[in-house]
Structure 1
């Protein structure tokens, strides 16, 4: 078996363990060094996420109701400073779900964005103060489901309902199809001639966050279909023509909001145990992007539109490096 570290130009883990980024330190200890959650250093790093760095900067701008800015502007009119976006970032950074401020944000989105009848999430509230069923977004639903699972809501019936909606409505079409009137209402804001890869990847992300022993057969089937769709496209290639790459997907970013890149797809597939020759081109491109110190750069970012900037574009990125190491470790384990 090939040692995953043999693909590194140099070992960057000491850099990732620096205490100036407690989130990266925590995930490096947990995912790269495989240290248990009850280890003293892991617990210390986890606690520091709420004390130093990006998470406390974001929470310092939170209103008492668990939202940021104007309450109604939690998605479209608040890109990328609104509440839905902050929930995604806080989940990515490993925020403590026991913190009241985090729970308040989760409950705010469940109340104001989720359509209680379908379980899907909407980009605006209706007149009744809950998610407008006519304004549902599949990628928002997947992102909210993932964030809420990450923050301890997996067993909440509202999240389970969102997951059921994703299973029922996820599409995998590569050719133009004629949609029913009902489907047109669901997909009209995000449907082109073919399936939106972003929605497939965000659904895959949500279901991959569920522990294997808690996945239903329907969830496993959806994971399989999502994974196979992306594998059939060589991770980063368009549906038509299939040989043409989505070159923006080869510019790695963090955090990824509605958008995706090849590194995210590789991360999800390798987390789920996939080792497929159709991944190799993207793997080779990922490996080639490291510098002489075994570090990767931040190539794509929404900095300037966040509540607070996260790393610097064009500079060495602890987050991109950590995610690349996760891919290598899982693929070559």
Structure 2
């Protein structure tokens, strides 16, 4: 049996349609194992750069490299600079494109705090954000995007990796910030000081893009800590520590969508653990059953969190079959079942 035996109909012809070249390029790589420099992938990626939504996102960019307003770029949800970089990465945009290269450099210049982590500051002035605004969710999201766009060797990216690893393990950290990363093990002021599973998932997603031979011992300890944390609860129940007096997990956990922004969903938990080599762990069996149960009769998954009217332009329609969510689901099923 293969992953195709776990879907109700073959989704590949739909995912490979040329009217969505970005999905096609990603499908060729994730489900059919074509290398990124293959002619088929290059052709699809080139077409995607000249097609919406990538085309319209790049058209909205200021020549200096920012969106919406200059500064740290956290801005409005979700039209500021940092969000565009995160979304463009999820769309598989070409990091060699001059506008994306400019955006990466802008973020590395104005969104990185003195500690090395990326700050969730809404300031509209070109100055680095204060360390107390640094949180794992944003740091992980931006770090994953920057690595995806080819900047792993940039010393500023390495500083972000180092900040994340040290903060997670608690090794060599002189100060914690009640409003941001407030302690080791993913503790976060945004979660009332409790360990934040969304932050853990975002950081692990970034770490997963670092080749294993390049993972320093401290980074590997941070990865191990994150994996232990995610497996400390049943991922499909998602009853991780909650702030704000909440006693029931956020509904966002159970609404797989695209793009995936500050929140995480059960599907992203599966994605991250799969990328780190845990796709066949028996503890994921309930979550995999949950995932398979959410496909429709055509082997497609709905976009239950499309962020419509909150983006530079809508990518998909809320509640309708989603090529991107279907690709996310099929990538996990392939990792789990071969």
Normalising by structure 2, report the TM-score: 0.89
Structure 2 residue 3 is the aligned partner of structure 1 residue 4: yes
Deviation for aligned residue 1:171:
6.8
Q: What's 1:198 paired with?
A: 198
Deviation for aligned residue 1:232:
2.0
Q: What's 1:175 paired with?
A: none
Q: C-alpha separation between the residues in 2 aligned to 1:39 and 1:181?
A: 47
Deviation for aligned residue 1:151:
0.7
Q: C-alpha separation between the residues in 1 aligned to 2:83 and 2:157?
A: 18
Deviation for aligned residue 1:308:
0.5
Q: What's 1:329 paired with?
A: 334
CA deviations on 1:233-255 (whole Å, 9 max, x unpaired) are: 111421369x9655431111111
Deviation for aligned residue 1:69:
1.6
Q: What's 1:262 paired with?
A: 266
CA deviations on 1:38-74 (whole Å, 9 max, x unpaired) are: 3221111121121112111100111111111221371
- 2:176 corresponds to which of 147, 172, 182: 182
Q: C-alpha separation between the residues in 2 aligned to 1:280 and 1:49?
A: 35
Q: C-alpha separation between the residues in 1 aligned to 2:248 and 2:62?
A: 45
Q: What's 1:296 paired with?
A: 301
Structure 2 residue 121 is the aligned partner of structure 1 residue 120: no
Q: C-alpha separation between the residues in 1 aligned to 2:51 and 2:125?
A: 39
Deviation for aligned residue 1:183:
4.3
Q: What's 2:137 paired with?
A: 139
State the secondary structure of the residue aligned to 1:184. coil
Deviation for aligned residue 1:127:
7.4
Q: C-alpha separation between the residues in 2 aligned to 1:318 and 1:232?
A: 31
- 1:277 corresponds to which of 258, 279, 282: 282
Farther off after superposition, 39-48 or 24-33: 39-48
Q: What's 2:46 paired with?
A: 47
- 2:156 corresponds to which of 150, 158, 172: 158
Q: C-alpha separation between the residues in 2 aligned to 1:278 and 1:61?
A: 44
Normalising by structure 1, report the TM-score: 0.90
State the secondary structure of the residue aligned to 2:226. helix
Deviation for aligned residue 1:270:
1.3
CA gap of 1:137–1:13, structure 2 versus 1, over 3 A, is: same
Q: C-alpha separation between the residues in 2 aligned to 1:88 and 1:260?
A: 14
State the secondary structure of the residue aligned to 1:140. helix
Q: Check whether the contact 1:273–1:331 (CA below 8 A) recurs between aligned residues.
A: no
Deviation for aligned residue 1:213:
2.5
CA deviations on 1:261-297 (whole Å, 9 max, x unpaired) are: 0001101111222122221111101000111110100
Deviation for aligned residue 1:225:
1.6
CA gap of 1:10–1:131, structure 2 versus 1, over 3 A, is: same
Q: Check whether the contact 1:20–1:53 (CA below 8 A) recurs between aligned residues.
A: no
| Count of matched residue positions in the alignment of Structure 1 and Structure 2 | 323
Q: C-alpha separation between the residues in 2 aligned to 1:100 and 1:112?
A: 18
Q: Check whether the contact 1:232–1:278 (CA below 8 A) recurs between aligned residues.
A: no
Q: C-alpha separation between the residues in 1 aligned to 2:330 and 2:54?
A: 23
Farther off after superposition, 246-255 or 316-325: 246-255
Unaligned runs of 5+ in 1: 173-179
Q: What's 2:146 paired with?
A: 148
Q: C-alpha separation between the residues in 1 aligned to 2:271 and 2:179?
A: 32
Residue pairs, 1:68-87, within 5 angstroms? 68-72=67-71, 74-75=73-74, 77-87=75-85
Deviation for aligned residue 1:314:
0.8
Q: Check whether the contact 1:65–1:104 (CA below 8 A) recurs between aligned residues.
A: yes
Unaligned runs of 5+ in 2: 183-188
CA deviations on 1:97-148 (whole Å, 9 max, x unpaired) are: 1111001111111111112x31111223697722323332332122111111
CA gap of 1:122–1:283, structure 2 versus 1, over 3 A, is: same
